[in-house]
Amino acid sequence: MSQTLDTTALQRLIDKEQIRDAMSRYARGVDRGDTELVRSAYHDDAFDQHGAFAGHIDEFLPWVKQLLEGVDNSMHFLGQSLIEFAGPALAVVETYFVSRRLLDPVPAAYADKVGPNDLVAREGWGRYIDRFEKRNGEWKVVP
């Protein structure tokens, strides 16, 4: 019995893993306050629309840093990713997530609602919908 290597299918598996890796770098970077790691998931001309923010990656990074001020602990859980290829170097990616952040100190709006040793947890659920492009062998978010 003869087996042939399907190089196109193999490349698609490699591409998908590289895209998932970029999503993981993004999540780890946000959780650890490492803006360079967040940036590593984006091409230089990338645009991000993220809740109330919409703009270039160079504007997004300071916005994220400010958003995380006062966060004692941050964690993302990335769920399934549907990666749909629109060509050999273009993909639309939808990734489900849950994020959780502990706020310390407790914001003034919650001070009378918690005990002296309590923290406030902020949780969010949603989907990241991104356009990825492969440039110079690297899959990253693009405009």
pLDDT for residue 79 = 96
pLDDT for residue 75 = 92
Which residues have C-beta within 8 Å of that of residue 98, sequence separation ≥ 6?
A: 76, 77, 79, 123, 124, 125
pLDDT for residue 19 = 98
Instruction: Spell out the per-residue pLDDT of the chain, length 143, in tens.
Output: 556 678 889 999 999 999 999 999 999 999 998 999 999 999 999 999 988 899 999 999 999 888 888 787 889 999 999 999 999 999 999 999 999 988 777 777 777 877 777 777 888 999 999 999 999 999 999 98
pLDDT for residue 3 = 65
Q: How many whole angstroms separate alpha carbon 81 and alpha carbon 23?
A: 9
pTM listed for this prediction? 0.85
CATH topology of domain 7-141: Nuclear Transport Factor 2; Chain: A, (3.10.450)
Q: Contact at 8 Å (CB) between 45 and 39?
A: no
Q: Give the number of other CB atoms < 10 A from CB of residue 24.
A: 15
137 token code pair: 């062998």
pLDDT for residue 2 = 54
